[in-house]
Structure 1
Amino acid sequence: MTNVLVTGGAGFIGSHLVDELVDEGYDVTVVDNLTEQVHDGEPEYLNEEAEYVWGDVRDRELMTELLEDADVLNHQASAVGVGQSMYEIEEYVEVNTLATARLLDIIVNEEIELEKVVVASSMSIYGEGTYRCSEEDELRHPSLREEEQMKQGQWEHICPECGAELEPVATTESKPRESTSVYAISKKDQEELTLSVCRAYDIPAVALRYFNIFGSRQSLDNPYTGVCAIFSSRIKNDNPPLIFEDGEQTRDFIHVSDVARANRLAMESDASDVAVNIGTGSPVSINEIAETLIELYGKEDELSPEIANDFRQGDIRHCFADPSLAADELGFEAEVGFEQGMRELVEWGRKRDAEDRFEEAHAELEAKGLVGED
């Protein structure tokens, strides 16, 4: 039986992946350090069929021992949070970049024989998504918006050639990458280190560029996690979702069960030395997320989204996936629709206590000079 070592396998994505692999007959070993920002002790959803080792991926001795018994490495462990990464720089680089480098160093120098390596990458490495100028019918790859533009509340990108407003289009894997946060840089490091080293040593490897993942088991107490969980925590505590810019910025929201399946397909496919988008291809606005969650929690008469009249440094405007390469390379297509996935998240969220720490996190960003007002 194939033994899969899943780093970060007690977390949001990792635990769903463990369930997927166990259901498909794999022998699964998990290593996770149960970081306090995400976990309050051992989660109740852990799969009894998997083996759990509570330790840190930066522990060379531990990881050497675990890798020697593995056939496949699925590397999910990561420090997550764009804003927080901009002032906890050393922590993010150590947990993401250095830990991945150490795993690869062990594989190479201890001559670990692996059938496959799958690493979690991120859409954040693109920076802004892809746009089209309708006037000139050409693609554009803009950099971050200037602060002066943001202060004036001019949220959309403007074509530098003709001055027309740019139209967001699907982002392919060939888009030039412009990582705009420490988190994004560290995820790019994880992807490039893995593909480069595995290519040199003839180890099949796939990097999965996750778009915005949502679903059950997402930490509702962690104010640095995804927007669906942050809004859920606000709503459960009878507070309105606070929205940056005008709320019409869009992202590609993919359900965690689809992401788990994409990981399994990446392991089982012949794909190698490739990075692929894992998304739906369908953009959803932040306003739509807030309104949908308020409705599903049954609080339409009490709450409505609140525009915060500010913006975060480094935020992008639009980015959604072109998922065609994942279909070609992995045979993967997202199956869970937006409404279905949101209902699953809310059904799970109703049963959980949630501490709303958004204002605390927002104050930290303000103190670090990472929030501006229009």
Structure 2
Amino acid sequence: MTYNILVTGGAGYLGSTMVPALLEAGHKVTVLDNLMYGQTSLSHVCYHDNFTVVRGDIRLEKTMVPLLQKADVVIPLAAYVGAPLCNKDPVGASSVNHDAVIMMLKHLSKEQLVLMPTTNSAYGTGDENNFCTEESPLRPISQYAIEKLEIENAIMEHPNAISFRLATVFGMSPRMRIDLLVNDFTYRAVYDRFVVLFEPHFKRNYVHVRDVTRAFLHGINNFDRMKGEIYNVGLSDANVSKMELCQAIARHVPDFIFPEAEIGKDPDQRNYIVSNAKIEATGFRTAHSLDMGIADLVKGYTMMKNTKYGNV
């Protein structure tokens, strides 16, 4: 079955990978994005008859309502992503990450499908074994994690919704973000040959940006049996510490060094091992390993050396 899909923030890091895949799957896709980073990340799909792009702000009802009325499926990607960006502009972050999504839900019919990306950063330090499932207690600390949890609760009251709690995303994308942890450390390895580690033994889960797209397509294709549920989305073999991540990068950049120092603190104190068994039980499997993603990043960074590919 094909759908009319509205993707807010569709020109961003996730969207610029996801939108071409949705088009390839036969869907009609409308992207709403304010293009705040001046990106042209969807220029390669402008030829597609089923692609429409609208430059606008998701916070404006007069912009959102007509687009929502035409949509069978809504994928709300538009967000101020991550604690640093939210700290930089907390008012803007709340209005986009929270208020705009609440407004969107008010205008949705019960029949419309919603697939929402949330975050597993709210797990904090997990249980006594640092192990987390979808049923684990949530301990959000940063504004970003707190508001994402509030939105997840609101989304799950909609009768046709899925929430994907994404692991830390990595990998090359047409709208690149160098500030994400794997992407950042690999960039530093390529250009600086070192990174100073704080909290080096803190573990977290990771997922390739292309596997995020695959998870959303899987959700669309299996919606009836997945709806009403929350799913962790990550690489089950990539619950690794910062130290282990650096060791993996060093296999691709042999002269990369990573001394330890107490110079910082994770804003959400993420230190956990995340189970992805629930989504795997639906038949979903990741296809892009951490090692594959690092190799792609090393190649990609030969084409970029500046600071415009981050959120802050």
Conservation of the 8 A alpha-carbon contact between 2:125 and 2:271:
yes
Distance 1:118 1:77, change over 3 A: same
Per-residue deviation, 1:248? 1.7
Aligned partner of 2:40 in structure 1 is 42
> What's the secondary structure of 2:236's corresponding residue?
coil
Q: How far apart, in 2, do the equivalents of 1:113 and 1:249 lie?
A: 41
Q: How far apart, in 1, do the equivalents of 2:202 and 2:192 lie?
A: 24
Conservation of the 8 A alpha-carbon contact between 2:233 and 2:279:
yes
Which aligned pairs between 1:1-374 and structure 2 lie closer than 5 A? 1-36=2-37, 40-43=38-41, 46-48=44-46, 49=48, 50-86=51-87, 88-107=89-108, 112=109, 114-132=111-129, 168-169=130-131, 171-196=132-157, 198-199=158-159, 204-217=160-173, 225-238=179-192, 240-245=194-199, 247-269=200-222, 270=224, 271-282=226-237, 283-296=239-252, 298=253, 300-301=254-255, 303-312=256-265, 314-328=267-281, 330-355=282-307
Per-residue deviation, 1:189? 1.9
Conservation of the 8 A alpha-carbon contact between 2:165 and 2:233:
yes
Q: Which moved more, 1:59-68 or 1:336-345?
A: 336-345
Conservation of the 8 A alpha-carbon contact between 2:176 and 2:309:
no
Q: How far apart, in 2, do the equivalents of 1:305 and 1:45 lie?
A: 38
What residue identity is the alignment partner of 1:242? V
Per-residue deviation, 1:192? 1.2
Per-residue deviation, 1:65? 1.1
Distance 1:15 1:256, change over 3 A: same
> What's the secondary structure of 2:303's corresponding residue?
coil
Per-residue deviation, 1:244? 1.4
Distance 1:56 1:242, change over 3 A: farther
Deviation per residue, 1:332-367 (Å, 9 max, x gap): 121222211221222222222333999xx7xxxxxx
Conservation of the 8 A alpha-carbon contact between 1:97 and 1:190:
yes
Q: Which moved more, 1:278-287 or 1:258-267?
A: 278-287
Deviation per residue, 1:273-302 (Å, 9 max, x gap): 111100122311212323433542x4x33x
Conservation of the 8 A alpha-carbon contact between 2:10 and 2:33:
yes
Q: How far apart, in 1, do the equivalents of 2:36 and 2:121 lie?
A: 22
| Bigger radius of gyration | 1
What residue identity is the alignment partner of 1:217? S
What residue identity is the alignment partner of 1:274? E
Conservation of the 8 A alpha-carbon contact between 2:122 and 2:140:
yes
Per-residue deviation, 1:239? 5.4
Q: How far apart, in 2, do the equivalents of 1:239 and 1:280 lie?
A: 26
Q: How far apart, in 2, do the equivalents of 1:221 and 1:209 lie?
A: 19
Distance 1:357 1:331, change over 3 A: closer
What residue identity is the alignment partner of 1:305? F
Conservation of the 8 A alpha-carbon contact between 1:220 and 1:229:
no
Q: How far apart, in 1, do the equivalents of 2:65 and 2:268 lie?
A: 38
Distance 1:218 1:311, change over 3 A: farther
Conservation of the 8 A alpha-carbon contact between 1:207 and 1:274:
yes
Number of matched residues?
Answer: 304
Per-residue deviation, 1:305? 1.4
> What's the secondary structure of 1:307's corresponding residue?
coil
What residue identity is the alignment partner of 1:5? L
Per-residue deviation, 1:234? 2.6
- What is the alpha-carbon root mean square deviation over aligned residues? 2.4
Per-residue deviation, 1:221? 6.4
Conservation of the 8 A alpha-carbon contact between 2:140 and 2:268:
no
- Consecutive unaligned residues of structure 1, counting only runs of 5 or more, are 133-167, 362-374
State the percentage of identical aligned residues.
27
What residue identity is the alignment partner of 1:122? T
Conservation of the 8 A alpha-carbon contact between 1:74 and 1:118:
yes
Q: How far apart, in 2, do the equivalents of 1:129 and 1:268 lie?
A: 31
Distance 1:290 1:346, change over 3 A: same
Per-residue deviation, 1:10? 0.8
Distance 1:356 1:8, change over 3 A: closer
Per-residue deviation, 1:236? 4.0
Q: How far apart, in 1, do the equivalents of 2:66 and 2:195 lie?
A: 45
> What's the secondary structure of 1:21's corresponding residue?
helix
Per-residue deviation, 1:177? 1.0
